Amino acid sequence: MAHTTLLLFAVLGCLSVGLGSKQRGDFSVTDMDMDTAKDGDIKALEARLNATEKELEKVKSDVQLLEKENQDIMAKLNDTVEELEKIKKQNGSTTTGGPKVAFSASLAASGEIYLKQSDASPNLVYKRIFTNTGDAYDSKTGTFTAPVKGIYFFSFSTFGYNDFLSGAILTKNGHYMVSSYDPPSTGDRGDTGGNSAILQLEKGERVSMRLWETSQVFDNLNGHTTFSGFLLFPL
């Protein structure tokens, strides 16, 4: 009985020693695995970080590309808006393009007038308006003001009575352009003259009529003394 017990103890001891050494071996393997696993995790994290960085770079360059595209689109939009503004300005235009601009007037709106040059108002002021489409002719000052840059046509006629010099001058911004001139003469009691010009005007440039220093012009409702003009085409 004692032998059996001893044997049992011996067997148990061996078993426990065996178990113990085996367990110790297992532990050291697990440590190494853990180190390797840690290295693996860091590598994986680094790879993910690298991938994220790469992704970020791509997103950045995509954003730059989009910004560039956006700028291009904005520039095109600006061009289109400009073009549309131009079209709007020209809207309601004649077949030659540009706004509708035409006026025609004669000197006397009523009764009879016989005009000499006056320093107070050097312009001939044509009061009887036949047409003033676009309102570029001002019947208070006698001045035509170009609403757009373009080529304009003007014509005028002058009529004088008696022995006076008859005639007038078409001016652009106050500078003499073309004129009519019929010198004083006895015997011929009626002097008719006229002229025309095609002028390039910048927007805002002015055209008006003036008398020669000593000339006189007459008008009544027969419309002897007139001034007309229109926009041929814009530039």
Ligand X SMILES: *[C@@H]1O[C@H](CO)[C@@H](O)[C@H](O)[C@H]1NC(C)=O
**Contact set with ligand X (CB under 6 A):** 43, 46-47, 50, 71, 74-75, 78, 87-88, 91-92
Of residues 72 and 188, the one with the C-beta less far from ligand X? 72
Cα–Cα distance measured from residue 102 to residue 167, given in angstroms and rounded to the nearest whole number: 23
Q: How far is the CB of 93 from ligand X (least distance, A)?
A: 10
Cα–Cα distance measured from residue 166 to residue 174, given in angstroms and rounded to the nearest whole number: 20
Output phi, psi for 128, to 5 deg: -95, 110
Of residues 101 and 107, the one with the C-beta less far from ligand X? 101
Q: How far is the CB of 66 from ligand X (least distance, A)?
A: 15
Q: How far is the CB of 151 from ligand X (least distance, A)?
A: 23
Q: How far is the CB of 47 from ligand X (least distance, A)?
A: 4
Of residues 46 and 67, the one with the C-beta less far from ligand X? 46
Of residues 21 and 52, the one with the C-beta less far from ligand X? 52
Contacts of 218 (CB under 8 A, 6+ apart): 112, 113, 114, 115, 159, 160, 161, 224, 225
